[in-house]
Amino acid sequence: MPLTSRLKADQTPDQKTGLKNDSQQRNELMNRPFNFSAGPAVLPQAVLERASAEMSDYAGSGMSVMEMSHRGKEFIKIAEEAEADFRELLAIPTNYKVLFLQGGAMLQFSAIPLNLCSDGAEVDYLTTGYWSDRAVTEAKRHCRVSLVASGEADKFTTIPRCSQWQLNDKAAYFHYCANETIHGVEFPDIPDVGAVPLVCDMSSTILSRPVDVSKFGLIYAGAQKNIGPAGLTVVIVRDDLLDRARPNIPYLLNYKILADNASMANTPPTYAWYIAGLVFKWVKEQGGLSAMAKLNQRKSQMLYKAIDESGFYKNPVEHNCRSWMNVPFTAPDERLEKLFLEEAKKAGLLTLAGHRSVGGMRASLYNAMPVEGVTKLTEFMADFARRNR
């Protein structure tokens, strides 16, 4: 059954599913606050509606998904459908495993070196912001990290030019972050590092556009941005990398063990996995990743246009690497930024504060943020600037 209602405009909501028709959903959308949080982030309204309808009784099972055994036939079906839809959306080749794990993307900062290189091996890392820098700090506990390049000297407002990178063709892998959620820096394309396995933190960009998975050795992503609730992490790993784990790696960090057990070496985050499955179906109904890319590019262009033409707000990131997903911006001074956040909240524009490490404001425009939300934000920004010049 589709997530979005197919009822006519003059019909009432289906009492069994709780889903509403398009007209009712649009009315509710315009009255509901818009959540610009960087994560946990906004979820599609249709997903929330379906989860609400199925909360106490999933598909006539008499159980909530939260109450089900992960070994039971009901949840096994949920898990298998979610993986199949995810694979379809990203066109994941058959020689890659998909893992649904716990611990957040930060746990993978440790799991990756423990799985992909021997003790003392050299690995390449590129730092373009807060999260790739944190990944470096953790990797240094487990291997020899070669810093290929860093954007720190430019206050993480750009990506170092490839000509400046000091690559090691014998590195066990090359790690980068596709999108820096805090600084709003995003790679416009996939780096070419030769035969070295490419490892990518794709937490803030996964499912926002098509991506050629075959160019990567491993992709990982925290779910709480474009996939679903916090508590779930997705790892896509190429088969030939599954036998590199160190002998002393913790059992639940071993990708081979997790893959052999279909991500159920222990009890997985079942409810988050279920919600992720609903999100995958919703993305498919929107037209897939090509449609998501067009929508996300449109939303980000609207917001950057409002910033650049305002003469009031500023975005510090170089134009060629501005994020579609996370847009930081500032007002002329901290007093006005505080006032902006207070008034925005009253206007139904929520969680626009920038990360504590950089301040200012930040709007996250993940898949589930509708165009209406960005429109309302840009209109508020224009009005606020007019009143406070």
Q: Is 273 a catalytic residue?
A: no
CB-CB contact of 108 with 123 (8 Å): no
Q: Is 131 a catalytic residue?
A: yes
Sign of CA dihedral 120, 125, 127, 130: negative
With H, G, I as helix, E, B as strand and everything else as coil, classify residue 27: helix
CA angle centred on 127, ends 231 and 354, rounded to 5°: 60
Tokens read off for 120: 């003392």
CB-CB contact of 227 with 368 (8 Å): no
**Contacts of 130 by beta carbon, 8 Å cutoff, 6+ apart:** 156, 180, 181, 182, 183, 355, 357
Q: How many angstroms separate the CA atoms of 172 and 120, rounded?
A: 11
What is the distance in angstroms between the CA of the first residue and the CA of the last residue of the chain?
A: 51
Catalytic one of 20, 97, 225, 299 = 225
Q: Is 282 a catalytic residue?
A: no
How does DSSP assign 55-66, residue by residue?
A: SS-STTSSS-GG
Q: Count of residues for the chain? A: 389
DSSP state of 19: -
140 phi and psi angles, rounded to 5 deg? -65, -20
Name the one residue in this structure whose structure tokens are 């222990």.
266
Q: Which amino acid is at 160?
A: P
CB-CB contact of 148 with 125 (8 Å): yes
Q: How many angstroms separate the CA atoms of 68 and 340, rounded?
A: 45
Catalytic one of 20, 201, 281, 282 = 201
CB-CB contact of 125 with 166 (8 Å): no
Catalytic one of 20, 85, 97, 131 = 131
Query: What HEC string does 111-178 produce?
Result: HHHHHHCCCCCEEEEEECCHHHHHHHHHHCCCCEEEEEEECHHHCCCCCCCHHHCCCCCCCCCEEEEC
Q: Encode burial over 319-335: b for 16+ CB neighbours within 10 A, e otherwise.
A: eebbbbbbbbbbbeeee
Residues marked as catalytic? 131, 201, 225
